[in-house]
């Protein structure tokens, strides 16, 4: 029996490389590819697959990317096994992915053979997540109202910038999203952290994760046009 899968990434060369590598396995069949969330959702609507291999940051689609897209996929395709293929190495983001039901996370720096092995393991029912993730991923869920309390402390622009930042975008990428200068974005990010009593980026990610702010992902009303980190 073949393992049917879909590959989603906004870099055509990378998609071609993944397809070529997976073609070496007689047990795997690529049913289609997508370069953004719009193409991916349309493809999933008409093509059955066992596993989705997707990048985390994939701008340009109407369904966003990052945690927002993963949450959408979990709601609309609850049985779909998802492997995130990414260069992101942030424990808070990875824990949030795990909480959304992502079965495996493969780093783009790993040998491509590890992706093939992961596909086979996930198809067999295994989860392939970073060691030591368990306690972090199983920590308490966001408490209702905490995100609302954050909104009361921050201005609308500061809240928007924090949400974009904890979704995985850099200051430069946020500046491109909002058509503002890097300095303006950096200043408002620092102002937001000061209001929240947070000094380090790592603490900001943790705070956003615990309060549910991270789960919001990239707001859908913001036009996607920047090249996000991979």
Q: What is the pLDDT of residues 84-102, one digit of tens each?
A: 998 877 777 888 888 888 9
Take residue 77 and report the two structure tokens written for it: 């395709």
Domains 3-137 and 146-216 share a fold: no
Cα distance between residue 153 and residue 159, in whole Å: 9
Cα distance between residue 85 and residue 33, in whole Å: 14
pLDDT of residue 177: 85
Residue 139's pLDDT band, with cuts at 50, 70 and 90, is very low
Cα distance between residue 222 and residue 136, in whole Å: 30
Take residue 80 and report the two structure tokens written for it: 């779909």
pLDDT at 228 over 50: no
pLDDT of residue 31: 96
C-alpha atoms less than 13 angstroms from C-alpha of 27 in its C-beta half-sphere: 10
φ, ψ dihedrals at 202, nearest 5°:
-60, -40
- Domain map of the chain by residue range? 3-137, 146-216
> Which neighbouring-strand residues pair with 52?
6, 82
**Average pLDDT across the chain, whole number:** 80
pLDDT at 226 over 70: no
CATH code 3.40.50.2300 for 3-137 = yes
- What class does CATH assign to 146-216? mainly alpha
pLDDT of residue 212: 62
Residue-wise pLDDT for 35-89, tens only, equals 999 999 999 999 999 999 999 888 888 888 888 888 889 889 999 999 999 887 7
Pairwise pLDDT comparison (36 vs 213), residue with the higher score: 36
**Measured distance between the N- and C-terminal CA atoms of the chain, rounded to whole angstroms:** 33
DSSP letters for 139-200:
SPPPPTTHHHHHHHHS-HHHHHHHHHHHTT--HHHHHHHHT--HHHHHHHHHHHHHHHT--S
pLDDT of residue 38: 94
Average pLDDT over residues 149-175: 79
pTM of the model: 0.61
pLDDT of residue 190: 94
């Amino acid at each position: 029996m073949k393992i049917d899968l879909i590959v989603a990434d906004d870099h055509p060369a990378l998609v071609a490389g993944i397809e070529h590598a997976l073609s070496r396995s007689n047990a795997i069949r690529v049913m289609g590819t997508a370069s953004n969330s719009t193409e991916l959702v349309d493809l999933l609507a008409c093509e059955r697959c066992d596993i989705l291999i997707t990048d985390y940051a994939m701008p340009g689609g109407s369904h966003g990317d990052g945690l927002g897209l993963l949450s959408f996929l979990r709601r609309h395709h609850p049985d779909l096994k998802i492997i995130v293929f990414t260069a992101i190495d942030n424990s808070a983001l990875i824990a949030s992915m795990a909480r959304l039901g992502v079965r495996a996370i493969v780093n783009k720096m790993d040998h491509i053979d590890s992706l093939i092995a992961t596909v086979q393991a996930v198809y067999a029912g295994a989860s392939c997540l970073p060691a030591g993730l368990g306690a972090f991923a199983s920590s308490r869920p966001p408490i209702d109202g905490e995100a609302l309390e954050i909104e009361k402390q921050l201005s609308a622009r500061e809240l928007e910038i924090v949400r974009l930042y904890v979704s995985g975008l850099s200051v430069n990428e946020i500046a491109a999203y909002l058509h503002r200068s890097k300095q303006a974005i950096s200043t408002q990010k620092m102002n937001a952290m000061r209001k929240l009593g947070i000094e380090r980026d790592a603490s900001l990610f943790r705070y956003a994760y615990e309060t549910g702010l991270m789960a919001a992902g990239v707001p859908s009303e913001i036009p996607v046009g920047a090249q996000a980190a991979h």
